[in-house]
Amino acid sequence: MGINYTVSVKKLVKKFGDFTAVDGLTFNVKDGEIFGLLGPNGAGKTTTIKMLTTILPSTSGNAEVAGYDMKKDQNNVRKNIGIIFQDPSLDDDLTGKENLEFHAILYKIPKERREKKIAEVLKLVELEDKADTVVRFYSGGMKRRLEIARGLVHEPKILFLDEPTVGLDPQTRRHIWEYIKKLNVISKTTIILTTHYIEEADYLCDRVAIVDHGKLIQLDTPKALKDKLGGDVISIETKDAVAVEEAFKGQRWVKHISKREGVIDLTVMEGEKRIPEIVIAAEKRKVGVGSISLRKPSLEDVFIHFTGKTIREEEGSSIDAMRAHRRAWTSRR
């Protein structure tokens, strides 16, 4: 049996004037999986979601969403998707239940089915006891859960979550992760989410597409992506980064070296055995080492390996460049 794809994206491009926000993305999303677009702010993740949900027209390329052409059959695409945006979009003057009812009416769900479905989704996100509470009295986490419930009222095949936990505290973020996992299992809904949180992508996603400057860098399961690096990561904090890099560049047991501010990362096999050798080599060369740490590779290491920068370093440069190009593009229109 072949794999069922809920979303198929082919050479998708979005330009704002001379700035390319999305640069030839091609990927498929399997039916029922949690699929993540991971990358810094300004990498093109939200722009991609906006094209797939028919909010923005693409410059070139195309996609099938829930079996429908996103350009030729936008109405059917919209009927089969739910969207939760980064910015809150609830009506704070309505109760939780009233927010869901308003959404259900927009989708023309019959009253008898509407009431049953609203009760179901409120139970799913554990907000039954807050159904009649005005939303302005909800916490940030409760509002996010209500938005997830609203996105499920019309039983979409695909739920798009754009940075679902941005701005939430770590404990609330973890709770939202659990709700996302639960709804994926219970409702079998395909979920596509964007995030710049490494831990979020690693914990939630069946597969992760790493995106940077609008391009697809890597795509695989979190485990497979980390396995591509192989071995362990030894991080050396030093003020003599160039000297440390030179000291280990020719070593056979060093698979990869990457630099970031004040830190050298060595990808090695049997890392615990290499730490004494690193200390001895540093002493011989009289290189100052502040600290040495050993860990298994993370998705952050994968991003560094393929881009040469951390996601945090990329955030500022990417989003500033995007904003500058958008301002220039807008001023010319």
pLDDT digits (tens, 9 = 90+) for 154-170: 989 999 999 999 888 89
Q: The domain 5-224 is classified under which CATH number: 3.10.20.740, 3.30.300.30, 3.40.190.10, 3.40.50.300?
A: 3.40.50.300
User: What is the pLDDT at residue 96?
Assistant: 96
114: tokens are 């509407």
Give the whole-angstrom CA distance, residue 244 versus residue 285. 9
236: tokens are 């050396």
User: What is the pLDDT at residue 316?
Assistant: 47
Answer yes or no: is pLDDT of 318 > 50: no
Considering the chain, what is the average pLDDT of its residues? 88
Task: Tell me the CATH number for domain 230-296.
Answer: 3.30.70.260
Asked whether the whole model's pTM tops 0.85, one would answer: no
Nearest to 265 by CA among 233, 294, 227: 233
**Which of 170-184, 273-287, 288-302 has the weakest average pLDDT?**
273-287
Q: How many residues in the chain?
A: 333
For residues 36 and 216, the answer to whether their CB atoms sit within 8 Å is no
Same fold, 5-224 and 230-296: no
Sign of CA dihedral 212, 214, 215, 221: positive
Please state the φ and ψ torsions of residue 34, each to the nearest 5 degrees: -100, 115
* C-alpha angle 108-110-116 in degrees, rounded to nearest 5: 120
**In the chain, what are the domain boundaries?**
5-224, 230-296
Q: What is the mean pLDDT of residues 293-320?
A: 77
Question: Regarding predicted confidence, which is higher, 324 or 282?
Answer: 282
For residues 157 and 80, the answer to whether their CB atoms sit within 8 Å is yes
Residues sharing a CB contact under 8 Å with residue 254, sequence separation 6 or more, in sequence order: 248, 266, 267, 268
User: What is the pLDDT at residue 158?
Assistant: 96
pLDDT in tens, 111-147: 889 999 999 999 988 899 999 999 999 999 999 999 9
Place of tokens 């990561």: 233
Q: Within 13 Å, how many C-alpha atoms sit on residue 23's CB side?
A: 13
User: What is the pLDDT at residue 66?
Assistant: 95
User: What is the pLDDT at residue 146?
Assistant: 93
**What is the phi-psi region of residue 34: left when phi exceeds 0, alpha when psi lies from -120 to 50, beta otherwise?**
beta
User: What is the pLDDT at residue 315?
Assistant: 56
pLDDT in tens, 190-207: 999 999 999 999 999 999
293: tokens are 């740490």
